[in-house]
A and B are shown apart, each in its own frame.
Chain A
């Protein structure tokens, strides 16, 4: 089962290596990982999507909590969260195909970020499944390159994760 875990950590050098190392050596599977600074510049937030049963999730949370630089750890159920990933996709695009691709962008609410004689680069921020569909829509045109971030997640409603 997939779990989304938010980790607030001290914003020091080496903290990410500690967190990533913990996952590697205890054989926990990471699907995606994203890091960024929070409103407090001394604190970073790491969002991890991990795969495992309930025992593994419990161990992940407890072991993360043991790292001295980890300030707070929480896992969320899917319904509690608003999640986003960002993807940049460069697809082949002849001048004749432009209109078609621009209309796909419109429907999917993607942004046209760059254009060249024979390619177009589209940008989409959405949740994971939407991004997958988007990719499928573009595949027939010939995808030259995909760059995708890890998932970031925030609680729905007024609740927030602070230290």
Chain B
């Protein structure tokens, strides 16, 4: 590419274009104005969120469904600081985002001037890497590296902080084709010998199980996972981050493990003789299911060597890209049958727990989600927030080709709507539904305006129980029902709020209304809100 003289601000926009970026999510301020000024004349669409944290979450939703880094933008000081929760949320879930922040003039850094915050310093624990750009000549190289680092290896957020005066300096625009970082060379090829060991372990096992996590999405290995499971007749369970990485109607799929998991999945991991952890970090909430691993042989396949052996003792580690490893593994293993084992799990799965009738004026969340399953298009994207609503969604949603996503690692309330906006912007043909509680909705409902302004047709389902249900459940269980600070009395009628934004809303107070309401929501070409009333006493752990 030939070199061209321009300002750093313009070069930043040109770099984003060269990187193939079509949408950015942001919120302006003085220190990032030079960049915004150059954005005007580009064809990159800027989506104006109503709070910076939601720009970060939207970039995260965008990244999850495209595999490409999502881009979010904020100004210096408070703008940048508002981004931190989103950056940390992306970090915990290994989501590639590139966050661009304005900074005060470089000669004023360190003097506590107006809207100065050490954002690279404060975000350091939550970024894969960060840059503060002081040399105008380094801008193109820095942006190229930022995308490369964010998207490769174990993905994660990268922050680029650019002082305002630097944005106004002249530089040569030359977007590099390649990156070379001598200190960053992620392993992608699995070690052949280790793969052979895994194949041998699979061949020897009579009760194998695969626990597949979010890494399967990050490595785009959905088909490869199914291929291995089918060839060797291995049951598959998920961590929360992994939900929907396998067709959930597949006979070999047994649901989510862990503290809030389902019986067949937890049964599978506690009665197996071989546990294959696949792109799963095994966070503490998932590990609950694995309390007793004696006599179980554990294989851990992950791109990040630091995750292997961190939370679970592992017999056979394999470091590398899951997709590549699965392909190699599937070629190496023989066809197998584990009929006795899968029959045993089928039996556990078939034990139905009776659903009690919901109190008048309320809806059983399980039945509601089941109705949703009947109607949503096969490839729908479901974004679950945090709380009881998340568990009800996670445990009852049934997706065949669709995608479930949630802020599994950080459990950040307020994630679902902005992330759904990001996902919908990336894949406008797909049905995208955010599902949240009435507590979390109040942390994010300003983003309804974003959806309206930018014509982003996301659907929102709120389970209204007038309480911070998950915390209340905890207080009831562990603090002898001493409840404090969980009552949400005073919350508005969300259908009225929606209508104030020009969004159509419907209330569901009885399961008999669910079918029609869901139908109306799905057939609308516009954002839509369903307010589903749920009894306070509904539990997640039964």
A interface list, Cβ under 8 A from B? 9-10, 14, 17-18, 21, 25, 55, 58-59, 62-63, 65-66, 68-71, 163
Per-position binary interface string of chain B over residues 276-305, scored 1 when its CB falls under 8 Å from any chain A CB and 0 otherwise: 000000000000000000000000000011
A17 touches B124 (CB 8 A): yes
Q: Tell me which residues from 115 to 142 in chain B have a Cβ below 8 Å from any Cβ of chain A.
A: 120-121, 124-125, 128-129, 132
Query: B182 to A62, Cβ gap below 8 A?
Result: no
Query: In angstroms, how far is the closest chain B Cβ from the Cβ of A66?
Result: 6
- B121: chain A residues at CB < 8 Å are 17
Can you list 24 contacts pairing A with B, beta carbon distance less than 8 Å? A9-B183, A14-B120, A14-B132, A17-B121, A17-B124, A18-B124, A21-B125, A55-B309, A58-B309, A59-B306, A59-B310, A62-B305, A62-B306, A65-B305, A65-B306, A66-B306, A68-B128, A68-B181, A68-B183, A69-B183, A70-B183, A71-B182, A71-B183, A163-B182
How far is B128's CA from A163's CA once the two chains are assembled, in angstroms? 22
From A55, which residue of chain B is reached at the shortest CB distance?
A: B309
Task: Find the B residue at minimum CB distance from A10.
Answer: B183
B184 interface hit (Cβ, 8 Å): yes
Report the count of interface residues on B (CB-CB < 8 A).
17
Choose one: B125, B132, B184, B309; the contact of A68 (CB below 8 Å).
B184
A78 to B306 alpha-carbon distance, docked (Å): 25
B149 within 8 A of A: yes
With A55-B309, A66-B304, A163-B182 already in contact, 14 other A-B pairs whose C-beta atoms are closer than 8 Å: A14-B132, A17-B121, A21-B124, A25-B125, A58-B309, A59-B306, A63-B306, A66-B306, A68-B128, A68-B129, A68-B181, A68-B183, A69-B183, A71-B182
Give me the interface of B with A, judged by CB distance under 8 Å: 120-121, 124-125, 128-129, 132, 149, 181-184, 304-306, 309-310
Instruction: Report the minimum CB–CB distance from B303 to chain A (whole Å).
Output: 11
Chain B residue nearest to A68 (CB atoms) is: B129
How far is A111 from B304 in the complex, measured between Cα atoms in Å?
Answer: 49
Alpha-carbon distance between A21 and B426 when the two chains are bound, in angstroms: 36
- Give CA–CA (A59, B306) in the complex, Å: 7
Cα distance, A17 to B123, chains bound together (Å) = 12
Rank and list the top 3 A-B pairs by shortest CB-CB distance, nearest first: A62-B306, A71-B183, A68-B129
A66, B156: Cα distance in complex, Å = 12
User: How far is the CB of A24 from the nearest CB of chain B, in Å?
Assistant: 9
Closest to B149 in A: A68
Q: Please, which residues of chain B bring their CB within 8 A of the CB of A18?
A: 124
Work out how many contacts link A and B, with CB atoms closer than 8 A: 32
Tell me the nearest residue of chain A to B306, going by C-beta.
A62
Q: Which residue of B lies closest to A69 (CB)?
A: B183
In the bound complex, CA of A59 to CA of B310 (Å):
7
**Closest approach, in angstroms, between the C-beta of A106 and any C-beta of chain B?**
46
Write out the residue numbers on chain B whose beta carbons fall within 8 Å of the beta carbon of A62: 305-306
Tell me the bound Cα distance from A45 to B304 in angstroms. 24
Rounded to whole angstroms, the CA-CA distance of A66 and B120 in the bound complex is 17
Distance of A5 from chain B, by nearest CB (Å): 15
CB of B419, distance to nearest CB on chain A (Å): 25
**Bound complex: CA A65 to CA B308 (Å):** 14
Most A CB within 10 A of own CB, among B121, B128, B184: B184
Contacts of B129 in A (CB 8 A): 68
Query: From B182, which residue of chain A is reached at the shortest CB distance?
Result: A71
A123 to chain B, nearest CB (A): 35
* Chain A residues whose C-beta falls within 8 Å of the C-beta of B125 in the assembled complex: 21, 25
CB-CB nearest in chain A for B154: A66
On chain A, the residues within 8 Å of B305 by CB distance are 62, 65
Closest to A61 in B: B306
Most chain-A CB neighbours within 10 Å: which of B125, B182, B183, B309? B183
Cα–Cα, bound, A68→B179 (Å): 13
Chain A residue at smallest Cβ distance from B126: A25
Q: Which residue of B lies closest to A66 (CB)?
A: B306
How many angstroms between the C-alpha atoms of A55 and B308 in the bound complex?
Answer: 11
CA distance A163 to B182 in the complex (A): 9
Nearest CB of B to A163, in Å: 7
Bound CA span A7–B401, Å: 46
A120 to B182, CA, bound (A): 48
Closest to A9 in B: B183
What is the minimal beta-carbon distance from A52 to any residue of chain B, in angstroms?
14
Nearest A residue (CB) for B181: A68
Nearest-CB residue, chain A, relative to B129: A68
Expressed in whole angstroms, the Cα–Cα distance for A62 and B319 within the complex equals 12
Cβ contacts under 8 Å, A10 to chain B: 183
CA distance A63 to B121 in the complex (A): 18
Residue of A nearest to B145 (CB): A68
A21 to B123, CA, bound (A): 11
| Chain B contacts for A163, CB-based, 8 A | 182
| Residues of the B chain whose Cβ atoms lie less than 8 Å from the Cβ of A9 | 183
Cβ of B163 to closest chain A Cβ, rounded Å: 14
Whole-angstrom distance between the Cβ of B121 and the nearest chain A Cβ = 7
CB distance from A122 to the nearest CB of B (A): 38
Q: How far is the CA of A68 from the CA of B131 in the complex (A)?
A: 11
